[in-house]
A and B are shown apart, each in its own frame.
Chain A
C-alpha cells in the first residue's frame, strides 16, 4: 500500500518530497486538498478537513496509517 500511495501522490504532486520526515511543511493548501481527494477516491474512504492534521500528514508512513485506520473503521 505504501508504494502505491507514494506512486499516486508523487504523480499528482511532483514537486513534493514524499520521503521527507517533514512532509506537512512541504505542502500548501493545494497539496493537502489533492492528497485528500486522491486518497478518498482511490480507497473509497471519507476524508474530511479534520483528517488533514500535521500529525496525519507528517510523513508518508503517517498517511498510510491514516488510510489504514479509515479502512478498518469501515
Chain B
C-alpha cells in the first residue's frame, strides 16, 4: 500500500486521529487527506501531468507533506530540494529533471552526492518507497501508538523515508525544523503520547548527550526507540546512549539514497560494536565483492540516475548497487562497515564531494587554488577544512570566503575551518595529491 493509500485508509477508519504535528499546528488523518486531494486538484489545474517531475523546496512543515503526497496522488514525481536551496541550484535542477522522460513507476527524485561523489538525481520507484517502509515497520517495529519525531531535512532520505512507515501504520509524525532549538525537541514530549521515537544522525545524538543528558535520562521510559545512521557512530557514544536509555531499542541503520534502507543493528546489547549495521532487512540483500565492496540488492534500491545512463550502469548492474562502502560479515552474519572508497566526505550524514566545494571556493578572487579535506569537530565529528593558497596581494578573509561558498552551495558544504598553505601537494603527474592531505 502506498503512503497516499494509507493516509486515505486512515482518513476513513480513524479520521480524527492526529497524523502530523508541527509546532503549534497539527492535522488529523481526515483533514490531511482532504488537504492532499485539494492540493492535487490545484496542481492538476496548474498543468501537472502524470510521470512529470515537480521540483519544490522541502519546507519543514505540514504543507510539505500535503504537497509531497498531492504530487504522488497526481501520479507525478516529487523532487524535493533542501529548504535553503539557492535559486541557481533550484533552476539548474529544474532544467535537468524536466529535460527527461520517466517511466510510470518513478515516485521521487532525490538529489544527492551519495555513491558517486557527484550531485545526481536518484530515481526512486513506488516499490522502493513501499519496501523501505515495510523494512522499517518490520525491523524497527513501528506501531500505531507511536509519535515519531523528524528533525532532519525532509529532502534527505533519512528523514523523508521515515514519514512512510509512520503514516503507513497510522501513527503520528512530529516535524521539527532542525535541532538548533533543543528545547523544541524536548517540548514534544509534553504531547499526550506514551511512546516516542526518532531518527538522528550521530552528531545530533552526541550533541544531545553533551548538553541534555539529564533530560534524555528523564525520558528513558518513554523513548521506544532511536535510530541513527548516515554516518558512523562511535562505540563510546553507543555505550553512553545505552546507559542513558537502558530500555530503549537503539538502532544503527545502513542505508542511502541509492540503496534505500538495507540493514539495521540494535546496539543496546552490551557489545556496542562500532561499524556494525546488523543484518539485511526484510526486503534487502547484501553481499560483498572479493575486495570487500558492499553490494546491495532487493526491492529498496534506486531505479537509476536522471539522464545519466553511463553512471547508472557503473553503479547499478544486474539489479545490484555497487557502491563505495567497504565491509565484512562476522561469524553471526552481521555486516560491519570498514570505511569508504573514494574522496567523498560524510558531514553529519550528508555526502560532500570535496571537488564541488573547491570549485565553488576557487571563484573567490582571493583564492588561487585550494583543497577541501575532512577534519574533526569535538562534538559534530567530521567537518570540512579548506586549505587555501592565496592569490597575490590578498590576506585570508574566512568570513568572505565562507559567505561566498554559502551563496553557491548548501549549508553543509560550507567548510568550518580555513587555513592558508604556500602551495598544494601534487602527485608526479601534477594532480592534487589528495592522499597527502588524508594523512
Contact = CB atoms under 8 A, between A and B. Distances in A.
Interface of A: 10-15, 24, 27-34, 36-37, 47-50, 52-54
Interface stretch (B99-107, B181-189, B422-430): B181-189
A49 B211 contact: yes
A31 B180 contact: yes
Given A52-B181, A53-B181, A33 B207 contact: yes
A54 B178 contact: no
A30 B211 contact: no
Given A14-B399, A14-B402, A14-B418, A52 B178 contact: no
Chain A contact surface mostly: helix
B379 interface: yes
Given A28-B180, A47-B211, A49-B208, A33 B402 contact: no
B183 A14 contact: no
A47 B211 CA distance: 7
B403 A52 contact: no
A52 B182 CA distance: 7
Given A15-B405, A15-B406, 9 more contacts: A14-B399, A15-B414, A32-B181, A33-B207, A34-B380, A48-B211, A49-B186, A50-B186, A52-B211
Contacts of A12: 416
B183 A52 contact: yes
Q: Which interface residue of B207, B405, B414 has the most chain A CB atoms within 10 A?
A: B207
Given A14-B418, A15-B399, A49-B211, A30 B182 contact: no
A29 B180 contact: yes
Contacts of A48: 211-212, 214
Contact of A54 (B181, B416, B418): B181
A24 to B, nearest CB: 8
B47 interface: no
